[in-house]
Amino acid sequence: MKSAIKIIPLGGLGEIGLNCLALEYQDHILVIDAGLMFPDADTMPGVDLVIPDFSWIIERGERVSGLVLTHGHEDHIGAAGYLMRELPKSTPVLGTRLTLALAREKFKDAHLDPELLEITPRQRIMAGPFDLEFIRVNHSIVDGVAVAVNTPLGAVIHTGDFKIDQANSEDRIDLYKFAEYGENGVLALLSDSTNADQPGCTDSETIIGRTLEQIFRGADGRVILACFASSLARIRQVAKAARAVGRKIVFEGRGMVHIVKLAKSLGYLHIDEEDEVSLAASGDLPSDQLVIVATGSQGEPMSALARMAHGEHRQLIIREGDTVILSARFIPGHEKAIAQLIDLFYRQGAQVVDGRRSLVHSSGHGQAEELKLMLNLTRPRYLVPVHGETRKLVKHGELALSLGWREEQVKILKNGQGLILDEDGARPGETVDSGRKLVDGNRLGEPEDPVLQSRLRLAGGGLAVVTVALSADGRQLLAAPKVAISGVHYESDLDLSLEAAAVAERAVRDWQAELGPDQAPEQEELEARLQKEVRLLFRHSISRRPAVWPQIIFVNVQAGRPETGIPS
C-alpha cells in the first residue's frame, strides 16, 4: 500500500480565526492548533465565543496522536479546552513553554489536566508515527514555532503565524533551518497568508520601538499606550523606549497585568524594578515621567482604555496634555467603537496617535516579499495557503505562480476539503464535516440555532407577547387576550396593544369555529395563526416586524387549575 498523507483543514481557511488543521498519516491523526473567533455582536448577540466544529476529530479520537499548538494567540489555542475534553485523556499537547503556559489556563477552565509536552525550537520528537521538528519563527507574540512533519515523501511544513523580522535579534526566525528543509525536499508548505495581498515587507518591531521613543520624548504629559496583551514583542519595545527617555512604565488591565506577570516569570520579558511602578504609586510621579500600557486597543467596552475614555476608571482620569497611542491594527468590525473612543479622548484634551498616521504598529504576519522568501527557501512541491480570507489565499497562490510554480502545484482549499499527497502527486480527498459552533454560556449551539435567530428578531423589531386563556377543550375563551409589547416604538403603546389584542381575539374565534365536534385542539396551529395575524397588524400599521410570542394557557375549568399546553 502506498504511503500517503492527508491534509484536512477544519478552520482558518476563508476566514481569520478558528485555526485548526489535521494531518492523517498511517491511520493516525495529528491536530495543529485549535483556535477560536470572537463573535460579531451585531449578528451573534449573546454569543460568548465561536469555535470550530471538531466533530470529525472527535469521531476519530482514539487515533489522535497529539495536538500541536504553534503559538499562544487565542485564534490558535482558544478552543483547545473544548477539543481536549472530547479526546482521550492520554492525548498529549505539544508546544513551547509560553504557549503551554497560556494553554494550561484554557485547560484549567475546562477542568482538564492533559499531558503537556514542552518542546524547544530545533527539537525533534515522535508523536505516534509523526516525526516532528519545530522551527523558530517571528510573530507578535514570542515563542512561536513552525512544525515540520517528516515523511518518506518529503516534509510537510506548517509555518504557523510568521513574519521575517531580520532586525529582531531576540526572536530571529530560523531561516537556515527552513533552507535546510528546502535542500532536503519539502513535499508541501502550509503557509500563513494573512498579509499576502500587502506588497513589500512588514516593518520591524525595532522600527516601531524607535518611533515610540520619539513620541515618548516629545510628549508633555502622560503617555497611555494600548495594545494587545499578548503582543509581547511590542511590550518589549515599549519598555525599552520608556527606559531610554526616563519614563516609568505602568501596566493596567487584567489581561495585560496577567500576561506581563506570566512572561516575566518564564523569562520572556525583562523589566528592571526601578523602571516599573504600580498604578497606585504612579499618582505620585510627574505626568511627563509615565507610560501607561493598557488593554483596549479595539474599543472593548470593559477594557481599561474604554473606562478611561468614559471617565469610569477609578484611578486614571484623562487630562489635557495626555497622549494616547493605539498600537494595534483596527480589526474589521471594531472601527466604530475605536472611533468613538478617539473622539472621547479629544474631547478631554488628549492627543491620539494611531497606525494610520504614525508608525506605531507592525503586523505579526509577513507580507508579499516575506512569503516569497519562504517559498524560495523551502521550495515545496506543493503550496497550500492557510490562515486568511479567501482573497488572501488566492493572492498567496498568485505569488507562487509569479515565482515559477505551476498552477497544479498551488492548492487552494476550503474548510473541510481534504487533500491527499502520495507518490503519484496530489489529489482531492474527501470532504468532511466542518463549520462553527457557538459557545453560549455552558452550551454549544449552531449558527442557525433557533435561540440565536430569536435574539436577532428581538434586536431587530422588538417583542410582542400574546397571552390567551382557554378552557381545556379549547372551545371557551376565558378572558380577553392580552398583548404586551417591548422594544416597539409607537405613539401609543397602549393603543397598539389593544388593537393587537382585538386581532388576537378574532384569530382565536376563527380557530374555534373551525374545530370539529370531536376534534382535539391543536396548540401549534393556534400559535401559528396568532403569530401571522399579529405580525400582519404590526407590518401594516407601523411597518415593523417584532417577534410575536404566543402564550396559550389551557385551564381545567372545574378544578380551576391552569395547564400550559394541551392536557393529556
Q: Is 34 helix (H, G, I), strand (E, B) or coil?
A: coil
Q: Which residue has the cell 399546553?
A: 565
- In sign, the C-alpha dihedral spanning 524, 529, 534, 540 is positive
Classify residue 406: in a domain, yes or no.
yes
Reading phi first (left if > 0) and then psi (alpha if -120 to 50, else beta), residue 487 is in left
Q: How far apart are CA 156 and CA 383, in angstroms?
A: 10
In a shared domain, residues 341 and 269: yes
Classify residue 40: in a domain, yes or no.
yes
In a shared domain, residues 8 and 156: yes
One-letter amino acid of 69:
L
In the DSSP assignment, the letter for residue 463 is E
Q: How far apart are CA 70 and CA 52, in angstroms?
A: 17
In a shared domain, residues 35 and 153: yes
In a shared domain, residues 484 and 425: no
Q: Which of 391, 408, 443 is the last residue of a domain?
A: 443
Q: Which residue has the cell 404590526?
A: 538
Sequence-separated (6 or more) residues with CB below 8 Å from residue 277: 248, 249, 250, 285
Q: Which of 354, 372, 392 is the last residue of a domain?
A: 354
- In sign, the C-alpha dihedral spanning 436, 387, 134, 136 is negative
Residue 191's alpha-carbon distances to 370, 408, 415, in angstroms, are 11, 17, 15
Q: How far apart are CA 93 and CA 100, in angstroms?
A: 8
Q: How far apart are CA 100 and CA 117, in angstroms?
A: 8
Helices (H), 514-549: 523-542
Strands 186-192 and 382-386: parallel
Asked whether 498 and 476 are in contact (CB, 8 A), the reply is no
In a shared domain, residues 349 and 374: no
pLDDT in tens, the chain (568 residues): 468 999 999 999 999 899 999 999 999 999 999 999 887 766 676 677 899 999 999 999 999 999 999 999 999 999 999 999 999 999 999 999 999 999 999 999 999 999 999 999 999 999 999 999 999 999 999 999 999 999 999 999 999 999 999 888 788 999 999 999 999 999 999 999 999 999 999 999 999 999 999 999 999 999 999 999 999 999 999 999 999 999 999 999 999 999 999 999 999 999 999 999 999 999 999 999 999 999 999 998 889 999 999 999 999 999 999 999 999 998 877 888 899 999 999 999 999 999 888 999 999 999 999 999 999 999 999 999 999 999 999 999 999 999 999 999 999 999 999 999 999 999 999 999 999 988 777 777 777 666 666 666 676 678 889 999 999 899 999 999 999 888 776 555 567 888 999 999 999 999 999 988 888 888 999 999 999 999 999 888 888 888 889 999 999 876 555 555 544 3
Q: Which residue has the cell 523569562?
A: 267
In total, the chain counts a number of residues equal to: 568
In a shared domain, residues 229 and 195: no
- Taking alpha carbons only, the member of 546, 457, 550, 540 closest to residue 501 is 550
Long-range contacts of 305-309 (CB under 8 A, 24+ apart): 305/224, 305/226, 305/253, 305/341, 306/341, 308/224, 309/341, 309/344, 309/345
In a shared domain, residues 347 and 389: no
In a shared domain, residues 33 and 47: yes
At residue 105, the pLDDT reads 92
At residue 373, the pLDDT reads 98
In a shared domain, residues 132 and 17: yes
At residue 461, the pLDDT reads 77
Classify residue 455: in a domain, yes or no.
no
Classify residue 450: in a domain, yes or no.
no
Domain coverage including residue 244: 205-354
* CATH classification at residue 26: 3.60.15.10
Q: Which of 284, 319, 354 is the last residue of a domain?
A: 354
* CATH classification at residue 287: 3.40.50.10710
Helix axes 254-265, 232-245, angle to 10 degrees: 90
Q: Cα 178–179–183 angle (5° rounding)?
A: 120
Classify residue 159: in a domain, yes or no.
yes
Helices (H), 425-522: 450-461, 493-513
Strands 116-118 and 124-127: unpaired
Classify residue 289: in a domain, yes or no.
yes
The burial class, CB within 10 Å (0-12 / 13-18 / 19+), for 265 is exposed
Number of domains in the chain: 3
Classify residue 451: in a domain, yes or no.
no
In a shared domain, residues 319 and 273: yes
* CATH classification at residue 543: 3.10.20.580
In a shared domain, residues 59 and 171: yes
At residue 1, the pLDDT reads 44
Burial 91-120 (b: 16+ CB within 10 A, else e): bbbbbbebbbbbbbebbeeeebebebbebe
In the DSSP assignment, the letter for residue 12 is S
Q: How many helices (H) and strands (E) does the chain have?
A: 16, 26
In a shared domain, residues 273 and 209: yes
Confirm whether pTM is higher than 0.75. Answer: yes
Classify residue 266: in a domain, yes or no.
yes
